[in-house]
Amino acid sequence: MVLMTVLMAVLWWLPPREDNPSSEAPGREARSRPPPPAVDTVAPTPSRSVAPQATLAGEPDAGSAPSAPEQAPALEAAREHPVNLEKLREQMPDNLYWELGAPTKDPEILRRREEQAGRWNALLGKVQSNTATEEEIHQYYDHRRAVSEDFIAFASRVLQEHGAQLSEQERGLYELSIQMHRTRLEEIPRQVEDALGRKATQDRRREEWRRGQKGP
């Protein structure tokens, strides 16, 4: 489950599309496998095994003997999957994946993510209603660009270092994530231009209306 969570965060943590605005730890666990597609969600933690059915840190494998409390399942999971999120975090400490998509159950991190998603969604609403300033328009799309670039970098690093050891399904999910974020990056220049154009038109109409209110 942990790997699926990581892959999902990488594949589906995409900013809301223009036509449909939506809302967009410390629990380090020895090895968490990178999750597959999960729509605009943020995944659990980075310290444990990353295989499709690896358990979260501190949670025993279903059906495993209760002999060695908590530690045995974690060690076993760590041997099962090659992707070590702790090592990746050391290599890419500033990547936005850790802030927005890395697996975590920490309530404070989850709260911050929810608040941040709310702020960006509110800004998207202003962009779509043509009430955002030019600075806010650029701020919103700069953030989207940074998120996609960092998620591409994360998925590319996983494939570069562990691609040969991943299952075909896992490789495919990482490749799909890269493709989807690249598509988003290609769309951004046009979206910025459109948003600025709508704002200019709206500003002109407002000014014309004000002049009309003043009369001759």
The residue type of 166 is: L
In tens, the pLDDT along 24-58 reads: 433 344 344 555 433 343 333 333 434 333 333 33
In tens, the pLDDT along 87-98 reads: 999 999 999 999
Report pLDDT for 36.
Answer: 41
- Cβ(130)–Cβ(202) below 8 Å: yes
Tokens for 78, please give them: 């760590």
Mean of pLDDT values over 161-181: 95
Mean of pLDDT values over 75-83: 59
Termini Cα distance of the chain: 70
Model confidence at 127: pLDDT above 80: yes
d(CA 176, CA 15): 16
pTM above 0.75, yes or no: no
Burial 46-60 (b: 16+ CB within 10 A, else e): bbbbbbbebbbbebb
- Cβ(157)–Cβ(84) below 8 Å: no
Residue 164 φ then ψ, to 5°: -70, -20
Give 3-state DSSP helix, strand, coil % of the chain, rounded to 5.
Answer: 60, 0, 40
The residue type of 41 is: T
The label of the residue with tokens 């209603």 reads 129
In tens, the pLDDT along 138-162 reads: 999 999 999 999 999 999 999 999 9
